[in-house]
Structure 1
Amino acid sequence: MAKILTKEDTKTKKTNKKNTKTTKKKEDTQITTVENEKKSSSSPFEGITKKPKRILIKEQKEIKDLYPYQKEAVEKIFKRLEEMPPNANLLFQLPTGGGKTIIFSEIAKRYIQKYKRKVLILTHRIELSHQTSEVLSSIGISNKIINSEVKQLPNQTPYQCFTALVETLNNRLQENEEFLEDIGLVIVDEAHNNSFRKIFHYFKDVNILGVTATPLSSNKKLPLYQIYNDLIVGESIKSLIEKGYLCDADTYTYEVNLSSLRVGSNGEFTVSSHEQLYTQSVMLNKLIQAYEERALNTKTLIFNAGILTSKAVYEAFSKKGYPIKHLDSTFSDRDRAEVLEWFRNTPNGILTSVSILTQGFDEPAVESIILNRATRSLTLYHQMIGRGSRVWKNKRRFQIIDLGNNLRRFGYWQTEIDWRHVFREPHLYLENRYKDNWDYELEFNYELPPEVRERFVNSSYEAYSVKDKYQEYIKKGIKPSVILEESLHDHYERIIGNASEKEEAYELFELLKDEIKHRLKQYCKCINATDNYYLWQYQQYITKLKKMINNHYDV
């Protein structure tokens, strides 16, 4: 269960980490061996017209036996693929840490053994390609990584499988559509990412298997059901925890006023608005407070939205004497490797980064995950938390510290989700999530960023609560619309009181737009108005304010 921290809580003495845990400890992981798979005698996939080439399978190696739930997933996926027509696509969902790479590598091996054709595995990061290649090699599948250095493949006979970066392969296929030969199955890792779509038309008569922890498209305008015909849902997070395959989590959330965050064209909170909020001393102090209260002396990952924030976090923790390193995408491979090696070898090490560690990174000893950011992406939410969910030695629990109101947005990480509903009705799912969260954000009063306040030095600044004004005026029998008149006058007085000329007044007017929007949204929520009414009211407000400014300076 999450702990919603109040001001009183933050004044209490720091407690030992062991005493903060309230949930029953799960049993240790049970490693179960499985029998060798029985060879299927059913007919090949329907619709394969190319003459299959003979592919020799190396002597099989085993890195470990599949867990029962993994074996069940392999059987279910392979059976479903056999039933599908050649141009149909299948999506498979399994939580981060559940072993998706092992499962789809086993699928690739079975396919190659049975149909004597080659498999293509697509990734969007080079570290994922290397990770997949290592697993394939460990089970005896000869494979080739197609990266930027691979310009041609004249002799493809030695390879049973290809792992390719989507951007690189797209370039090669644009130059030569027959760059790869005899591909019978395409597997897409992190299939929620829409960057893969541009390559699918090269494989129209081939089954495509997508795998993801969250079957929710990275682009809400391009839902996954447009590409994939069906979804197979794997073991849930809750089930994997109960069976000892994943660690359970204690979640602690610190309330943060996110009203200053802006949403970009991609539907996510912008990096720039994150940087303005999370680099402020009040937020850095809150982060350190949260760490000291809940994660002190644990191996900790801190996720931030921007590089400037991560560097500010590094400086703040360093001044306090804590062992911390910063890592971002500008690091060379060598520097990145050195930082990760330091992190692995430092029991109470802290690593602050941006999104670079959400995929292709595995350090099971991580005990605490700090979300020092807000996100509107369910996928990113699960990816970040998943970095701490691995079972390791005596570790059966980890901690999530939320400094971005993400728990309110997406719920507990362990909570079961109806993935079929998410897959079939993504717009409905997202609308409900965003509406509930926005209602929560509107409970906060908008606070001008410090750099904006500096432009209004001639005006006293007081937080203006539309909600409080509304309740007060309803009790007094005053029309709620008076609130808008007062707010309009307040903005007008602050602008002309700090601008010596019209051009400067319009600069200040632009700086107040976020506050104006927040007040109007609070007002519309109070009167239960529609979105269209809000948009109309906003245009009316802006028009009136501009007219008042013009009248003042044009006299």
Structure 2
Amino acid sequence: MISSTILNTDEESTSDLYPYQQRDLSKLFEKMLQINKKQRILYQLPTGGGKTRIFSEIAKRFIADYNQGVVVLTHRKELCSQTSNTLKKLGVTNKVIDSTVKRLKVKDCRSCFVAMVETLRNRIKEGMMNTSDIGLVIIDEAHHNSFQKLLGKFPNAYIVGVTATPFSSNADMPMYKNYEHLIVGESIQNLIAQGYLAKPANWRYDVELNSLKTGINGDFTISTSDELYSSPAMLELLLHAYEAHSKNKKTLIFNNGIFTSKNVCQYFEEAGYNIRHLDNHTPAVERAEILKWFKKTKGAILTSVSILTTGFDEPTVQTVILNRATTSITLYHQMIGRGARRLPNKKTFTIIDLGNNTDRFGQWQTPLDWQLIFERPEAFAESLHAQTESEAHPIPADLKAKFPKSLQMSFDIQDAYKKALDSNQKPKIVMRDSIRQHAIMCIENAESISEGLALAAELSKEIDWRVKQYSKCLGKVTKNYTDWLKEDYRNKLNTIISKLMQRRKGNDTVALSA
């Protein structure tokens, strides 16, 4: 158990900490006083809240009070550099152990090491480091499971994990199996209210996602995402969303596939915008040049894949566009967090969601009960899975082909029902809105009333599915009532199509005569 002397606060070193950071720092050391080294602590703080600053302060105080070594584990080279620099600013000499370090010289035997996980594992195997001298291991981005294999190598160390989202995407390895205690930091909502994070303006567009498929990792596959987000309709929607809500603002666009990101870059270039593409295959020199350009260029647009979600900090970002769907709440928060930094001349930022992510996870700033999610991750995972399943109702490709002008073909009955109840409206408005949406699809893809009614007939299976979902929401309903709902739906759909197309025909006649 740790000695109480470590609670002595060095006012000079912590004077630049925010009050909530000071408070969390005290909580962390108080918890270390209460536990033994076999128990691990997990600390949660939102992206932009200053996790690196806090755990660097932990390292400094631990070394000063106990003269024991500290290891900070990361999973990316950029995070190594960022952490090392923060430690140096606090006066903590440290050595980065990455792939370039083949052996440690005497002069390199520092009190603090910052290490890539795989590299450190190899160096320990080679006998480079005496891990028994390490008294504290800090794990950045602790939700990654790759760290756990290494922790047994530090028998005399306290283990402190740090993450913005204490939820593992691996259902077989929930975080409570690796950490006994969770300390929850300030919420996003409170950080915004206190002026530490920028306030978001949220814009979401309903996107048809039923063509997306999930891979072995549980997230949507790159191939199906590329097919959807590289389509002319989605590229046009992206450009429209940018021009409507972010024109001339410094913008980050997150994509799931390189193919999509390059298409986005070309599409925006052809529209006359200053945009660059970046992915994890971009050479280091070119990447550095692109990031320098992005930092200095007013209104710059950077479209990227799998590279700017961690270890990237550019406070001048004004808009984040999620040009992808994800089932990962961690990735969702990491992407949006890239735009949340507050500056004296930047109190707000814009979020544009083109992947129904807001529906899946809630708005970024909406408070989450992280303690409950930590304790019951299975229930939280099931709720996310259920939401994804409701989105994944497959619409056959041959049916889609009959509605080429319709970008949106799905309608979430369960979500609409919930919203109706929440707003004290009668449930029947759900069927009304569903019928209207189907009517618009038929009208915008037909030249005549007969064509519109023919398209309505093509929707027969879709109508049956929607009515079935509606009946589930209502609870116990008879088969006779369900059959009546289906018949009533079709009759109202045909009536609306006929009336609106007749009205449109009349307007066209007037226009021609004029």
Fold shared, TM-score > 0.5 on shorter chain: yes
The reply on whether 1:297 has 2:259 as its aligned counterpart is no
Please state which structure has a larger fraction of its residues in helix. Answer: 2
The reply on whether 1:343 has 2:279 as its aligned counterpart is no
Deviations along 1:199-256, whole A, 9 cap, x unmatched? 1121244211000000011322210100000000000001100100000101000110
Deviations along 1:501-551, whole A, 9 cap, x unmatched? xxxxxxxxxxxxxxxx9999879857759xxxxxxxxxxxxxxxxxxxxxx
Aligned to 1:271: 222
The reply on whether 1:258 has 2:209 as its aligned counterpart is yes
**Does structure 2 retain, via aligned residues, the 8 Å contact 1:304–1:310?**
yes
| Alignment partners' CA distance in 2, 1:41 and 1:181 | 19
| Alignment partners' CA distance in 2, 1:275 and 1:94 | 33
The reply on whether 1:361 has 2:318 as its aligned counterpart is no
Aligned to 2:338: 387
The reply on whether 1:448 has 2:410 as its aligned counterpart is no
Deviations along 1:60-89, whole A, 9 cap, x unmatched? 996971111111111110111122101110
Residues 312 and 389 (structure 1), Cα distance of their counterparts in 2 relative to 1, 3 Å cut: same
Corresponding residue to 1:286 among 206, 214, 237: 237
Q: Tell me, which stretches of 5 or more residues in structure 1 are unaligned?
A: 1-39, 46-58, 455-462, 468-516, 530-555
What amino acid does structure 2 have at the position aligned with 1:430?
Answer: A
Residues 520 and 124 (structure 1), Cα distance of their counterparts in 2 relative to 1, 3 Å cut: farther
* CA apart distance, 1:332: 1.4
Deviations along 1:415-460, whole A, 9 cap, x unmatched? 0000001111111012112213432554xx615299x979xxxxxx
| Alignment partners' CA distance in 1, 2:153 and 2:107 | 18
Aligned to 1:419: 370
**Does structure 1 retain, via aligned residues, the 8 Å contact 2:95–2:113?**
yes
Aligned to 1:439: 390
SS in 2 for 1:202: coil
Aligned to 1:215: 166
Residues 447 and 182 (structure 1), Cα distance of their counterparts in 2 relative to 1, 3 Å cut: same
**Does structure 1 retain, via aligned residues, the 8 Å contact 2:139–2:162?**
yes
**Does structure 2 retain, via aligned residues, the 8 Å contact 1:61–1:138?**
no
Residues 185 and 294 (structure 1), Cα distance of their counterparts in 2 relative to 1, 3 Å cut: same
| Alignment partners' CA distance in 2, 1:270 and 1:351 | 22
| Alignment partners' CA distance in 2, 1:123 and 1:302 | 25
RMSD over equivalenced CA pairs, Å: 3.0
SS in 1 for 2:72: strand
* CA apart distance, 1:323: 0.6
TM-score, with length taken from structure 1: 0.70
SS in 1 for 2:42: strand
The reply on whether 1:377 has 2:328 as its aligned counterpart is yes
**Does structure 2 retain, via aligned residues, the 8 Å contact 1:148–1:168?**
yes
**Does structure 1 retain, via aligned residues, the 8 Å contact 2:93–2:111?**
yes
| Alignment partners' CA distance in 1, 2:98 and 2:169 | 23
Residues 320 and 234 (structure 1), Cα distance of their counterparts in 2 relative to 1, 3 Å cut: same
SS in 1 for 2:152: helix
Aligned to 1:471: none
SS in 2 for 1:431: helix
| Alignment partners' CA distance in 1, 2:40 and 2:303 | 38
Residues 260 and 297 (structure 1), Cα distance of their counterparts in 2 relative to 1, 3 Å cut: same
Aligned to 2:381: 430
| Alignment partners' CA distance in 2, 1:94 and 1:312 | 35
SS in 1 for 2:349: strand
What amino acid does structure 1 have at the position aligned with 2:342?
Answer: V
* CA apart distance, 1:371: 0.2
Aligned to 1:132: 83
Aligned to 2:439: none
| Alignment partners' CA distance in 2, 1:236 and 1:441 | 31
SS in 2 for 1:203: coil
SS in 1 for 2:179: coil
| Alignment partners' CA distance in 2, 1:440 and 1:353 | 25
What amino acid does structure 2 have at the position aligned with 1:355?
Answer: S
Q: Percent identity?
A: 48
Residues 110-509 of structure 1: pairs in structure 2 closer than 5 A: 110-155=61-106, 158-176=109-127, 178-180=129-131, 182-442=133-393, 446-448=395-397
What amino acid does structure 1 have at the position aligned with 2:330?
Answer: T
Q: Tell me, which stretches of 5 or more residues in structure 2 are unaligned?
A: 403-408, 414-460, 474-514
* CA apart distance, 1:262: 0.4
**Does structure 1 retain, via aligned residues, the 8 Å contact 2:97–2:116?**
yes
What amino acid does structure 2 have at the position aligned with 1:42?
Answer: S
SS in 1 for 2:106: coil
SS in 2 for 1:198: helix
What amino acid does structure 1 have at the position aligned with 2:395?
Answer: Y
Deviations along 1:454-494, whole A, 9 cap, x unmatched? 9xxxxxxxx89999xxxxxxxxxxxxxxxxxxxxxxxxxxx
* CA apart distance, 1:333: 1.3
Deviations along 1:302-330, whole A, 9 cap, x unmatched? 00001000000000000000010000111
* CA apart distance, 1:156: 6.3
SS in 2 for 1:303: strand
* CA apart distance, 1:182: 0.9
**Does structure 2 retain, via aligned residues, the 8 Å contact 1:90–1:230?**
yes
- The count of residues paired between Structure 1 and Structure 2 equals 417
**Does structure 1 retain, via aligned residues, the 8 Å contact 2:131–2:154?**
no
**Does structure 2 retain, via aligned residues, the 8 Å contact 1:364–1:388?**
yes
SS in 1 for 2:387: helix
| Alignment partners' CA distance in 2, 1:174 and 1:193 | 22
What amino acid does structure 2 have at the position aligned with 1:208?
Answer: I
| Alignment partners' CA distance in 2, 1:441 and 1:370 | 22
Aligned to 1:501: none
Residues 331 and 440 (structure 1), Cα distance of their counterparts in 2 relative to 1, 3 Å cut: closer
| Alignment partners' CA distance in 1, 2:79 and 2:66 | 26
Residues 362 and 520 (structure 1), Cα distance of their counterparts in 2 relative to 1, 3 Å cut: farther
Deviations along 1:162-215, whole A, 9 cap, x unmatched? 000001111222333855451000000000011111111212442110000000
| Alignment partners' CA distance in 2, 1:453 and 1:177 | 62
| Alignment partners' CA distance in 1, 2:38 and 2:14 | 33
Residues 68 and 294 (structure 1), Cα distance of their counterparts in 2 relative to 1, 3 Å cut: same
Aligned to 1:42: 4
SS in 1 for 2:21: helix
What amino acid does structure 2 have at the position aligned with 1:383?
Answer: Q
